[in-house]
Amino acid sequence: MYDLIVIGGGPAGLTAAIYAIRKRLNVLLISEDLGGKTNYHLDLPDVESYQIIRGVEVVNKFKSELEYLDFTRLMKRVERVEKTEDSFVVYTQDGGELEARAVIVATGTRQEWLDVPGEREYLSKGLCYSALSYAPLFIDKDTVVVGEDDLALRSAAELSVVAHHVDVVGPSAAALQTPLGQKLVRAENVTILSDYRVTRVEGNGYCNTVVVKNNHGQEKKLMADGTFIEKGLRPNSQMVARLVELDAKGFIKVDSYSHTTTPGVFAAGDVTNIYAEQVLVAVGEGVKAALSAYDYLLPHL
Ligand SMILES: Cc1cc2nc3c(=O)[nH]c(=O)nc-3n(C[C@H](O)[C@H](O)[C@H](O)COP(=O)(O)OP(=O)(O)OC[C@H]3O[C@@H](n4cnc5c(N)ncnc54)[C@H](O)[C@@H]3O)c2cc1C
């Protein structure tokens, strides 16, 4: 039996695992990959890497340590986690069963795709899912935001502060009634395209055009130096949906000690209901979850 199983090999899970190893816990990290979403980033012409806070230095350091310590990792997909009397069993997709006294869930989120021609081709080439990370780079640029609700409006509002122009495709009527929605409606450099949907994205090496169509079949071509798909993030929390409390959107509820509602189960990073989806936040949350798990385990060590 392990002391601790960490599920997820992104910034939160890697950091938690390395902290647990330093505390000399008998730990296993189970993940489909190492690095998580840090394996992707938005590539833009004329942007130097120092202009973006990617936070990958510490993540890459922890990743290489874990690659070296191969007995501490298992590259598998986890299906579910169940509680026994005094431990937890982690079930992997290939039928494996692994037991631990405590579990940290750090499985991140997945984005909603548009599922239109050109999207996969230009993914990370001018087309991205994280205005939170990149909006300040778009000074005097033309941008497009696609999405219905508060996430899209928040991204459009942040872009509107610096960009030359922002086209917002598909915001709902309800979202436009909010204070942020009203600000966008009034902004001179923002065009709201509520009844349009994206039909394809085009470019030349980098995405530079978003083609949209309305219900009457009218088509427009929106020119964009940067396009942000902000249709929401879906937490990868299904494996513990019966074990811990989730919020209305499926994010794992945690307190300031990374405790979930089930003692012995901790969670960290994008899969939780904490603000905000950033690498350095996930790293910090991973530290906290590992230290809290250590305190939980201490009476048994
Ligand atoms: C394109 C893009 C660019 C970004 N750019 C930046 C940036 O410049 N700066 C910044 O700070 N943030 C950026 N972000 C956000 C940042 O990457 C995330 O906030 C961060 O990676 C979250 O870390 P995490 O460990 O919580 O989750 P993730 O990085 O999502 O890692 C989750 C891990 O869990 C594993 N996993 C999931 N489900 C299972 C399962 N069932 N079984 C086993 N393993 C599983 C995955 O394989 C992965 O290893 C960007 C995000 C995207 C999508």
pLDDT tens for 9-53 read 999 999 999 999 999 999 999 999 999 999 988 888 778 888 888
CATH number of the structural domain spanning residue 12 = 3.50.50.60
Check whether residue 101 and residue 243 sit in a common domain: yes
Q: Is the CB of 40 under 6 A from ligand 1?
A: yes
- Which pLDDT tens digit goes with each residue over 167-224? 999 999 999 999 999 999 999 999 999 999 999 999 999 999 999 999 999 999 999 9
Q: How does residue 243 score in pLDDT terms, banded at 50, 70 and 90?
A: very high
Residue 141 has pLDDT above 90, yes or no: yes
Alpha carbon of 10 to ligand 1 centroid (Å): 5
Q: Whose CA is nearest to atom 21 of ligand 1?
A: 37
Global pTM reads 0.95
Q: Which residue among 194, 229, 264 closes a domain?
A: 229
Task: Give the pLDDT mean for 137-143.
Answer: 95
Q: Is the CB of 113 under 6 A from ligand 1?
A: no
- Which pLDDT tens digit goes with each residue over 70-119? 999 999 999 999 999 999 999 999 999 999 999 999 999 998 899 999 99
Check whether residue 40 and residue 119 sit in a common domain: no
> Residue 259's beta-bridge partner residues?
266
Check whether residue 97 and residue 241 sit in a common domain: yes
How many independent structural domains does the chain possess? 2
Q: Which residue among 229, 254, 273 closes a domain?
A: 229
pLDDT of amino acid 50: 84
Check whether residue 220 and residue 248 sit in a common domain: no
User: Across the chain, where does the E strand assignment appear?
Assistant: 2-7, 27-31, 73-75, 78-83, 88-92, 97-105, 109-111, 127-128, 142-146, 165-169, 190-193, 196-204, 206-214, 219-223, 226-229, 233-235, 265-267
**Mean pLDDT across the chain, nearest whole number?**
95
Check whether residue 106 and residue 248 sit in a common domain: yes
* Residue-number span of the structural domain to which 122 is assigned: 113-229
Alpha carbon of 108 to ligand 1 centroid (Å): 5
Residue reference for tokens 């806070």: 53
Check whether residue 146 and residue 280 sit in a common domain: no
Which of 18, 19, 37 to mutate for ligand 1's pocket (most ligand atoms within 8 Å of CB)?
A: 37
Instruction: Give the integer Cα–Cα distance in Å for 15 and 17.
Output: 5
8 Å CB contact between 222 and 167: yes
Check whether residue 125 and residue 222 sit in a common domain: yes
Check whether residue 38 and residue 49 sit in a common domain: yes
Q: Is the CB of 118 under 6 A from ligand 1?
A: no
Residue 258 has pLDDT above 80, yes or no: yes
Check whether residue 106 and residue 118 sit in a common domain: no
Q: Which residue among 229, 263, 282 closes a domain?
A: 229
- Which pLDDT tens digit goes with each residue over 213-228? 999 999 999 999 999 9
Q: Which atom of ligand 1 is nearest to the CA of 268?
A: 26
